[in-house]
Chain A
Amino acid sequence: MRLLRRFLIRLMNFATRQSADQRLQEELAEHLAFQTEENVRAGMPPIEARRLAAIKLGGAAAIRDHHHAEHSLPFLENLLFDLRYAVRMLLRSPGFSFIVIATMALGIGATTAIYSVINATLLHPLPYPHPAELVRVQDDLRGVGALRVGISVPEWRDLESSGIFQSVAITGTGANVNLTGSARPLRLSFKQVTPNYFAVLGVDAQLGRTFDPHDTTPGYNLEVVISDGLWRREFGADPRILGRALYLDNDVYHVVGVMPRGFRDQGSTSEEQNVELWLGAGFAGVPFAPPLRSSRHQSRVVIARMKSGLSIAAAQGRLDALVESLKEQYPGDYPAQTQWTVRLIPLTETVVGSVRQSLILLFGAVGLVLLISCLNVANLLLARASVRGREIAVRQALGAHRMRLVRQFLAESLMLFLLGGIAGFAILFIARNFLLRLIPESLPHLNDISISWGVLAFALAVSVAAGTVFGLAPAWLMSRFDLIGTLRQEGRGSSGSRERLRARQILVVGELALSLVLMVAASLLLRSFWDLFKVQPGFKPDRVMAVQTWLPGPNDPTSDPYRTATQESVLLREILRRSRTLAGVEEAAIGDEAALPLGHSQPGRLPLVREGLETMDNQAPLIDSPIVSVEYFHLLGMPLERGRLFSDQDIEGTPEVAVINQAAARTYWPDQDPLGKRVRLRLDTRGLSSTAQPAWTTIIGVIADARTESLADAAIPLIYRSVYQRSSKEVTIFLRGQLDPSAIPARVREQVQSIDATLPVFHAQTLNDVLSGSLSVRRFSMEMVAFFAATALLLAGLGIYGTISHLVNEQKREIAIRLALGAQRGNILTMVLRRGLAMAAAGAGIGVAGALIVSHLMARLLYGVSPNDLATFAGVTLVLATVALAASCIPALRAMRIDPNAILH
């Protein structure tokens, strides 16, 4: 309390620049007068009395100093003085200041930019209260190799009553629905969720309410919650929206609430996060299958909020016990060989898991750039030490304390770093809209990336930390001047300058090593990207466009105009016929969303039950199963290897047939002929309410493998069925020919809506766009790392240039003497170049070791190139050596042309 009071008063005195000197002077004068008087009373002569009084009082200057130090805050005063001095020094050498500030602006600006991305994604992935309590519940059947098999309604109820969770919700993974009745049919992204979904997330509506968590309607409760975006866009932010009827897939739902503006749904893709409609459903009645323990909802995602204070590990432990007891209770439903397990995964993980590695790589890369910038600036600061040697020596000779000098140099470098950081932040702030456009759209939480106060604080903190660390060493070395030597003759190889030179060489070696690491990382990423880009996808994306539509799936199947495949095939055949008449179209085909190569976020995966290997539906391996028309294979150039494709006779009512790819043949019928084999595919889609076993499907053909699921994976098993036997609500229209991408969407929409005016037409894209879109995160991180590597190389080149120049300058006299004694100029050139190469060799040696570590850490981001790729390492080392040589060349040539007469006059 007393200390605080004292500090505050001193601070106030400092701030108001109030001086107590006047008061002290008066007091001291009085004091002297009192003492003199007493001395006189004791019988001294007045002059002697005064002299002794002054002696007794002590040195007036020291008293004043102490008094002033007590009155104000000398530390702050000195700091202010140092800063003022630093500003003067900066202004005196504007070129130097500019280079340092620009270098730091680059380093800190780039780091801050990547940080702002990481801040929005990795650090704050879930915009919900108490995100650590949120988990995803994943059911696996490891015994049969089936992961993410979904959950059945009785299992969900078991979880709800287990006491581990506050609440557990089932959600659809996001799908499309048609909104009709507005100006034109719209396709919107929706999720069907259990009524407690928003309670699990902990977010309430801004208008109206969310679903009643205790609602137990078995099917859809016909209530809908809409997003703020949809409310503003389609309903003009009408406050009377509540209770309004919406026609979704021809069913009537009533709006009960509008979510708040910033609300984003959980999920890993922007598709999922941009859900605009939430429908409440119990997943237990029409149109869903009856709630049997064995009928798992394959495409459902389960999220839960754990009891507060429970760790994931503890919850998992209790959950494992629950699973064991359920297995005992229902042995028929959980045969031992399937190894049913339920895992809890932090929800954070499921949102950003896919991009975490790329982002950490980027942050690492940008961190290296920052480090190199700092090394470069430290190098520059040391270089300036020689220029300022005389000033420092004079100040030391005049009695400046060493600590005082270090503090002052530190103030200078701190100011430079801070100005650099502020400049970097300012550039980032100004260019933010441009920079945001570079980020791939598939990055989660793209819209949450912002240049906020937190980001500014980060930039300032980095500046101060870097300024302290990298300013301290140069400040220390600068203050260690050989006083006499420097004053006697400036710049003549004194011990201090040799030390500084060694420090500078170490810094440059560090820079070179770091840039080698970055260049190796960038080259490996570039090669991976290039290999993926050039990979033979096994299908021909050129001149192909895909346009999507969506057929309504009403809750009452009898009101569905496209209920059966036969009903739907009339529409599809008409769409195909009309599409072929469009200008430029040579071929047309139909598929579902899963048939869109590389363009579907969730594959339509179904359990594959093989005849002779019969298991329960929920224990079979899952296989991706697109639904297509026969023209699809030819349109995409996927050749038939064996058997036949679908024929006109393969329609609803005839025995079902399927075509598989070679990977499926190898995986499920190894060393056997798959033709004629029979399988059962159990469907789980909206609208399926029957529990009857589906009929057997016969394999009739094998097509060549194509990378339609993932460019990086050549052999993912696939099974294709005919759209005329199996209807699908998602329809993708494929067109090949001389197409005008700007005109096609409108033409297709006209044709489709002239058949059925309620159908939406959306997402028209060329397959090449889809293809490059699937590489966007890879491309982004490759481009960024390449940019950082180029920057690093430039900085390292500048560093080596500066150091060699400095070296030549220091050795001017030595070189001149050698020349005077008859040394060949060529020898001088090689001598200097050798110094540069020695640094490059040391940097490359350390760099290669570091790069090996880094390349193995990022092995999972690589494709088709080994982390030890010799060609990459050799090439990068060569580039580095060339740059080092080129940078040393200019000062070496200067050294060669030294005129001994001019130096040694």
Chain B
Amino acid sequence: MTDAALPPPPPAPKGWTGARLAGHVFLGFWVLAGFAIVLGVATGWDGTFLATYGPRLIEGLKVTLWLVFWSLSIGALLSLPIAAGRMSKSRILGGFAFAWVYFFRGTPLLAQTFLVYYGAGSFSAELKALGLWDFFREAMFCAVFTFALNTSAYQAEILGGALRNVPKGQREAAAALALPRHVTFFKVILPQALIVALRPYGNEIILMIKGSAIASIITVLDLMGETRRAFSRSFDFEAYLWAAILYLVMVEILRRVWDLLEKRLTRHLQRREE
């Protein structure tokens, strides 16, 4: 028999499988939606929207970035004692840190923002006596204050989780080498913890960028606030499209940067192509 000499059978022709059809329909929907949006914008295009509201949206974008930057920075500082509290053996400190984290992670950011911004009025006499009233009267400061408290709870959990994730042997080995405690922490524990914490920290920044839109509800003119204002004045849906694009670009840039950062930090773990 000449079985061995026969050529291999040709590959099965790729037909219109169900998945293929569904994929094309789904993709077609996006293409159509994109086309409709472009058409909708183009037919109503006279450049007036961007000329009138474009600079304002950019101003709003700056406010959003300002909000996110300060909230995250202050939150990062606040998260240190909370993470320490979460890991401490003291019951009072541990309980306080737990309650802090549980409250800020378990309630909506919008409710927290209202609690601070409108709730501050309930303590106006006390706040005036302390000289803090001017701070809490300003919507922008209230937003930063609330967001910072909120993100401090999340960041404390990220930090605590990452530190707990470092194997015990690392600490013991450092002790066996007679390294001082601060050297152990900064040179041995922290670098390993940061690798684990990197991804969740990136997600937290994205959450903050998205969450900061809530500030617009308490009259802060961030990107979302300017967008809502532009829409309520012009009734032009374009406003929301520009806002969507700007938010998406921010989040995508951050994601790309984070991918690069992760690649760099874990470069000793990657298999090298010989």
A and B: bona fide binding partners: no
